[in-house]
Structure 1
Amino acid sequence: MHYRTLGGDQGPRVSAVCLGTLSFGTTVDAPTSFALLDRFAEAGGTFVDTANHCARWVPGARGDESELLLGRWLRSRDAAGRTVVATKVGARPDPARGTGWPANAEGLGAPAVRAGIEGSLRRLGTDRVDLLYAHLDDRRVRLDDTVEALAGLVRDGTVGSLGATDHRTWRLAEARRTAAGRGLPGFRAVQRRHTYLRPRQGLTQDLDMDTDEELLDYAAEHPDLTLLGYGTLMAGAYSRADRPLPERYDHPGSVARLRVLAEVAAECGATVNQVVLAWLMGGPVPVVPVLGVSSPAQLDESLAALDLRLDPVQRARLDTA
C-alpha cells in the first residue's frame, strides 16, 4: 500500500486509494461487505468513505445502511483507531421539506449540519469522524453560516477535517477564502466524479459533477487541497461487455481514448481498469480514487494498480488521445 497526507501537511495520513462503501449493506450484502473491508485492511488500506444517505434509492433502503454496516465492522474488528472514516452531510432527504429530492435535501444550515453529524456518529457508533464532506452545495443558506457551522464541528472535536463534494470550483474557493479570513478550518478535500474518459462537450453539470480543468488548475495551485474521484471505473464499463458506456461518455471523442487505453494496458501487462487508476494517481495533480467494488476480485484488481507506473511517453499518449 502507498500513503499520502490528506489536505497537505495538516490532515491525517491515508492510503492512496479509498474504499467506497456506498452500496454496502444494500446491493452488496453484509458478508461480502465485511470481506471487502477485511481485505482492504489486510492490504494496508486505511481510508473508507460513506455518507448519511447511502443508498436510499435502493428499494426498501432508508439511507442508513452503509454507515450502520461500517459501524458494525469497525466495532467487530476494533478498527476505529487505524481507519480514517469519511462521511457526508447535506444530501439526506428531510421529510419536512417535501418528497422530491434534491429539493428536500437536509441542506447545509447549522441545525441540519449538527443533526446530520449526530445521526452519522450514532450509526457509526463513534464520537468522531476523521473527514466530513459538505455534500451538495446549498444556495439556500449563507455561505458564511455553512462555513461557521462546519468549523464548529472541528473546533469541538467531532470532526477532524472538512471536505466538499460536488461543489463548483468558484464556490469551493469562496468557502475556503471565507474560512481563512475568519481563522476557521476550511475545506481540505474535494470529491467529484473523475475518470479517464471526458464527458461530452457542452454537457451541463448535474448534481454529480465531473472534475474539470478549472478544478485541476485550482488544486494544482493549492497543495493543501486533496482531490478525490468517484465513479473512476464507470461501474465496470471499461471492461465489461454487459456494461455500456454511460451516456455522458458515449460520444466520438471517447473512441481514440479507449483505443490508446487498451494499447497502454497491453504494453504494461495490466488491465484497462488498472491503467485508469494509475493514470489518476500518478498525474500532475494526484487523485485519490474512491473504489466502488462489489467483490474481492474487483478489489484485488484495483489494489494492483498501486504498483503500476506509467512512463512519460505512455502518460503523454493517454493525455493527448
Structure 2
Amino acid sequence: VDQCVKCPETHYADNEKSHCQHKTVTFLAYDDPLGKIFSVMSLGFSSLTAVVLGVFLKHRHTPIVKANNRHLSYILLITLTLCFLCPLLYIGHPSTVTCILQQNTFGLLFTVALSTVMAKTLTVLIAFKITAPGRMRRWLLIARAPNFIIPICTMLQVVLSGIWLATSPPFIDKDAHSQHGHIIILCNKGSAIAFYCILGYLGTLAIGSYIMAFLSRNLPDTFNEAKFLAFSMLVFCSVWVSFLPVYHSTKGKVMVAMEVLSILASTTSLLGIIFGPKCYIILLRPERNSLHHIRDTTYARSKKP
C-alpha cells in the first residue's frame, strides 16, 4: 500500500497487516480458571470460618473459649468470614460500585480484624500485669479498655477512606496494551498514595499486634494464645511484604489475581494459626479443655524447681 494507517486502540492489525480487528474485552471473570478457583476458595474458607464460629458458640462455656475474651474471638471470626468474601468483589465485570467497594471494604475489614487481634493481646498483657501494684491496670481491665481499640482504629480507617473517596476515588479503567488483541477492564485505584497509606496503616496495626504478642508469649497461662497471635502477625506481614514487588511486576488480570491471592493467604493465616490449635483441643482433645486439666497443669508447674 502507498500509505499505512494505524489501528485505533480498540482494534489491532491482523497477521497480514491489511485489516483492523476488534480487540476482545476481558477481565477476571467467574468462568475463567482463576476466577473459578478464587470463587471456590473464597466461599469454602468463608463457610469454614462460619463453622469455626459455630464450634466456639457451642463450646462458649469451656475454659479455652473463655480464656482469651470470647467476645473478641466472635468479632474476629465474623470479620474473617467477611474478609474471605472480599475476593468476590474482584471477580466479574468491574463497575464503579465494585471499584469503590474493593479497596474500602478490604481496608475496613482488615482494620477490624487486626485491631481485634491487638485488643486480644493487650487483654492478655493487662490481665497478667494486674498482679503488680497499680490501680490504673485494674481499672483498664475492669473497664474493658482494650475493646475500645477496635472502634478507634476503625474510625481512623473510615477517615482515611473518606479522604481517598473525596480526593481521588477508584474508577473503571481499560488496559489496551498489556495483552495483544485484548482490552483488559480493571479498577484503577485512583490515588496510589491513598492505597499505600491504607496498606501502611494495616502494616502498623499488624506490627503493633506482633510486638505486644511477642512480649506476652511467655506469660504463664494454660491457654495463652500470644505465641499464635505473634506468629499469625508475622505471617500476615510476610504475605503483604511479598505482595508489593510481585504486584508491581504484573499487569492486567494477573495483577488482580495477585491481590486476591494475598487477601486469601493473609486471612487464612489468621484463621489457621489463631483458631486451628483451639479447634484441635475442642474437637479432638476435649479432656484438655476442662478445669480439672488446668488444675493438674498448674499444680505440676508449681512443683517444678
Task: Please say whether Structure 1 and Structure 2 have the same fold, judged by a TM-score greater than 0.5.
Answer: no
Structure that is richer in helix per residue: 2
TM-score by length of structure 2 reads: 0.24
Structure that is richer in strand per residue: 1
Q: Give the greater-gyration-radius structure (CA).
A: 2
